[in-house]
A and B are shown apart, each in its own frame.
Chain A
Amino acid sequence: MFNDIKTFLQEMPLPHYLAGGFLSTKEPTLAFFCGREQIQALAAGVRGGVGYETSLEKDNDAPPLANGQANLATGRGSRTLSRKLTSRYRLRRNVKHLFVVDPDKKDRFFGVDTLERMHQKDVPSALEEMHENPQQIFGNWPDQTPFRWAIVNREISLGLETIPRIDEPLLMFGITDEICASFESWSQTQGASIVAILPLPVAVLAWANNTLATKDRDSLVVVATDQGAVSAGFKRRSLIYISQEETASDAFSVLERETDDLGLDCPVRYLWALNHSEERRTIPEDLVIIDEENIQRISGASLALQEGHGKKIKHDRPLAHLLNWLVTQ
């Protein structure tokens, strides 16, 4: 009891309380996308996104990049980046951070499996086993680098606690502890709390399963990022397959081969690409590309967000829609 009180007094977030934390826990969210070379951010109030920053990587106080490397620029200003953004978009000072990260292939892991095959009774015990003994879960686990793990249900519901049956497919994903710790450390310097750290492919798959017409038809989704491509197969809304490939075309080739084994019925093919550089000659023609041209049709409306210069402009890049969707979850 005495130790609890002592710890509370030592760790008490007094600036957070004095900035209104006593009375309200409704805080604005700063959702960061941290890629290999670029950092973008969406500032969101209670009702959703209000501002968008397209290139924060040059800021002296920018969050770490996807490899966990912090900006080495010196001369940090008197105000933190979070403080600058909340002032710019007239948001409250107490903020939450949400990180969507696109780490290198070796720093991330995705898998679909059941508790039964993992010989685990429930999700907490599976997480504990993955943390302590990944070789036991994944068979061949070469890397000694410590990972952090998460498990979500087959619908990839990011807001719900996962209580699945033992024979139900689950999405397991992880990022190296070092990268996650770098984001936590940066948030601490900003005086913010952290909502979650999500790998970009997982966030996109959750958005796709929630937004696209996956409840009506089986679907194959490929998420192409700077760090390669992730392919996923959905049987209606249930994720049943996930794999990492080098390129989007590789991913679609693998999915074509797996379609029959997965028992998918005329699946719709979707491509979510972070950049436009994806070579489209080798990818299927009957493909729905989630890009600026059809995002309005998919999401229902364009996003009108203020930028650093103060003007509101339309944002139809898939990443902006993704971040805006995530902050409402």
Chain B
Amino acid sequence: MKPCLISKEVLARQVYRYHPAYRLAAFLLCCFLLAQVPFVAWIVYERDLTQQRQARAAQLATDTARIGRERKGLADTEKKLKRIQDLAPILRARLPISALLGKIEQLAPPNLTLSKITIDAEAFQPIQIETGLFQAPRQIRIEIEGEEPVQGGAADPSNKLAQALLLSLPPGSKIADNSPVNGQRYKTFRLTLFAPTNGNYYGLGVTKLATQNSL
């Protein structure tokens, strides 16, 4: 039917509905827009993720600020703790003298007479603590001198002491010298051992503290 009494504007608009070219163009446009849906979904997902990240970052920043404020109150304690931690290499490089002497006393055979025990620190290394420079030993030298009776064919008591003491000292310890000098009735000996300062001395009978320091 002829479009009687219809305005040109309306007829022009109706061309968009029925002309194949416009329908095809609209179809292609809709297909294109439909193809963007996954991309838009990804954008939305990423945006959501970014917002979550930003919220998390903001929360972390708040927490950091709060922790920073709380930490300010602990600054003095931290300083003290740092000094203690700095002392650790020095404290580690120690020798429980009484335990060592007790062990020597315990291990020395009855027929062995000890005349001199020398315990000395060696191989010093410098350690910087705050403004001071400290020398901490890395090795302990133990020198035992004495006399033992001459016993033909029997085991050497000083050597026995040396082996027993070596077992009690930390791993890495070694016997440096054991040189008896024969006499008429007695022979003198000098036993030298080296022990590392940073080893454990449980073999000497030292035990851990029952409760851990709360520091």
Contact = CB atoms under 8 A, between A and B. Distances in A.
Contacts of A159: 1-2
Interface string B128-148: 000000000000000000000
Given A13-B16, A13-B17, A158 B4 contact: yes
A21 B1 contact: no
B27 A17 contact: yes
A72 interface: no
B23 interface: yes
Contacts of A11: 13, 16
B10 A184 contact: yes
A149 to B, nearest CB: 8
A17 B26 contact: yes
A22 B16 contact: no
Contacts of B25: 8
Nearest to B26: A17
B2 A161 contact: yes
Instruction: Identify whether the interface residues of B are mostly helix, strand, loop, or mixed.
Output: helix
B30 interface: yes
Interface in B1-46: 1-7, 10, 13-14, 16-18, 22-23, 25-27, 29-30
Contacts, number: 74
Interface residues of B, number: 20
Contacts of A152: 2, 4
Taking residues whose C-beta sits less than 8 angstroms from the other chain, chain A's interface range is 20 to 34
Contact of A180 (B7, B14, B16): B7
Interface hub of B1, B16, B23, B30 (most chain A Cβ within 10 A): B1
A152 B3 CA distance: 11
Contacts of A160: 2
A111 to B, nearest CB: 15
A19 B10 CA distance: 20
B5 A175 contact: yes
Nearest to A29: B1
B6 A12 contact: no
A25 B17 CA distance: 8
Nearest to B3: A196
Contacts of B29: 12
A188 B9 CA distance: 12
Contacts of A198: 4-5
B27 A197 contact: no
Nearest to B27: A22
B8 to A, nearest CB: 10
A217 B28 CA distance: 56
A184 B14 CA distance: 12
B6 A197 contact: yes
A184 to B, nearest CB: 5
Interface in A144-192: 148-150, 152, 158-161, 174-175, 180-181, 184, 188
Contacts of B14: 193-194
Nearest to A159: B1
A266 interface: no
A180 B5 contact: yes
B127 to A, nearest CB: 79
Nearest to B24: A22
Contacts of B5: 148-150, 174-175, 180, 196-198
A8 B27 CA distance: 13
A219 B194 CA distance: 144
Contact of B26 (A12, A150, A158): A12
A174 to B, nearest CB: 7
A195 interface: yes
Contact of B3 (A21, A149, A175, A195): A195
Interface of B: 1-7, 10, 13-14, 16-18, 22-23, 25-27, 29-30
Among all A-B residue pairs, the 3 with the closest Cβ atoms: A150-B4, A197-B5, A196-B4
6 contacts: A17-B30, A150-B4, A159-B1, A180-B5, A194-B6, A198-B5
Given A13-B16, A17-B26, A150-B5, 10 more contacts: A11-B16, A22-B23, A158-B1, A159-B2, A175-B5, A184-B10, A193-B17, A194-B6, A196-B2, A196-B6
